[in-house]
A = this chain, B = another copy of it.
Amino acid sequence: MIRGDIPTLNLKIKKVNICTGDSFIALLNKADAIFYDLYQGDRVKISNKKGEEVVVVLNITSHEETLPKGYIGIFEDILTRVKFKNNEVVKIKPQQKPKSISYIRKKLKGKRLSYDEFLEIIRDIIDNQLSHIETTYFVAATYMHELTIKETINLTKAMYHSGDTLNFGHKLVLDKHCVGGVAGNRTTMLVVPIIAAAGYIIPKTSSRSITSAAGTSDTVEVLCKVDLGINQLRKVVESTNACLSWGGALNLAPADDKIIKVEHPVSLDPKGQLLASILAKKKSVGTNILLVDIPVGRDAKIKTKKEAISLKRRFLKVGRALRLKIKVVITDGSSPVGRGIGPALEARDVLWTLRGDPRGDHNLRVKSLFLASKLLAMAGEKRPQQLAKKLLDSGAAYEKFIEIIRAQGGYEVDPSKIRLGNHTFDYTAKKSGVVSHINNKYVNRIARIAGAPVDKEAGVYLNIRKGGIVKKGDVLFKVYSDNNEKIDYAKKYSNDVEGIIIDALD
């Protein structure tokens, strides 16, 4: 039995100057709600005489000041869809719950969902038709009733079919992805120009940092624009073979952001969702050869080898089913990769390394060459290691990098002249011995307290490596910030928390 049978009502619009970021929500006064038998969470269609209409989820308020009787309060988000005016008379018509809710219920009961069912859910999430609470049930259900491989494939397809897609019309489109959690791990900025210099297409989109000191996009942004629209991205790739773009500015697998938003409060990370979100974005840009890097370390995202192997298996199964040529490498994520932690410091490391400057970072170079040669091998190159090394050492990769930076509105800079925060402090060793551990989260946190990634100039520069020998009083790292108060907090944090472990030599 349906709800569509109750009278259509007329109410006046009242704009509520708040953006909820939730689904489309409208407020109704409790007296009206009771009279018309409408409830918190019910859906109604609001339409005006011009034929504009929008389906919203009702919130009920009993505060006459918040919303008087006879009005329907609309949040700013709705105005992106329809241009209702204050005091405009609109019709309100009850709607049934969207079909996607029955699919979410199905998943909550432990049943498997089909492609069509995932697509319906994903479209409703994108379309602001599911509230945060409803989206949360979906995420919780996929976390507790872990998605099968088949379901993960279907979810991935639903995610990329519901967003923009690119097609470069080439046979081979390469890409790399790193699962993350390791400080100073800026290999993308070396791998992309090597691959592009070898003549392959690599339309790389990256993320900004969420909890680390810098994401690839935050670092690239030190040198050029990263928020390319879909057409700009296409142009950059067509002229240079590559791009170093921020994924967030594009409409690729757009449900992802909204899903992440409800995962954050309880720090959930359902594996099926993770895979689907990564692979959907790769499929969106036409990738057919993909290398995935899973760094393992006790303070990285993936903490154990076992976990990494299980994730690798899933990546391979789902990737292959999506007709990707896919390879997964499990790497050492126990310590930071480069020495710079923070956008400017990381950009400097990358440039020095690309230019063959002795101040460049050895580990960053080795790991980037490793990843680039794996990708070249997947593309069919016979001597991939030699090729990668040649492209880097000859300066071809550096030239390609500058070409990409220029295509994205930047210019060539002298890495030693990159601006760093003018307030600094040196953290010194409290005892002599061997550096047995450098905690990724510790260095990330200090860089963030110093202001990274928003203050590009803020960060941490490590003078040491895991396994290195230090003497009491040696400078282990230097912190840079634009703000003296932040330096003080960073200093306090550095001293209060034990993030670098030194084992005495005896």
Contact = CB atoms under 8 A, between A and B. Distances in A.
A328 B363 CA distance: 70
Interface in A1-59: 1, 5-7, 16-21, 27, 34-35, 37, 39-41, 59
Contacts of A59: 20-21
Contacts of A441: 1
Interface stretch (A135-143, A271-279, A399-407, A429-437): A135-143
A66 B61 contact: no
Interface stretch (A83-91, A104-112, A372-380, A419-427): A104-112
A61 B131 CA distance: 18
Number of chain copies forming the complex = 2
Interface string A241-285: 000000000000000000001101111100000000000000000
Contact of A108 (B19, B144, B449): B144
A493 B5 contact: yes
A489 B105 contact: no
Contact of A105 (B17, B266, B442, B497): B266
A132 interface: yes
Chain A contact residues (Cβ within 8 angstroms of B): what range?
35 or more
A143 B41 contact: no
A66 B18 contact: yes
A140 B39 CA distance: 21
A133 B6 contact: no
A501 interface: no
B454 A40 contact: no
Contacts of A141: 140, 144
Contact of A265 (B19, B35, B41, B63): B41
Interface of A: 1, 5-7, 16-21, 27, 34-35, 37, 39-41, 59, 61-63, 65-66, 76, 101, 104-105, 108, 110, 131-134, 136-137, 140-141, 143-145, 261-262, 264-268, 441-442, 445, 448-449, 454, 485-486, 489, 492-493, 496-497, 499
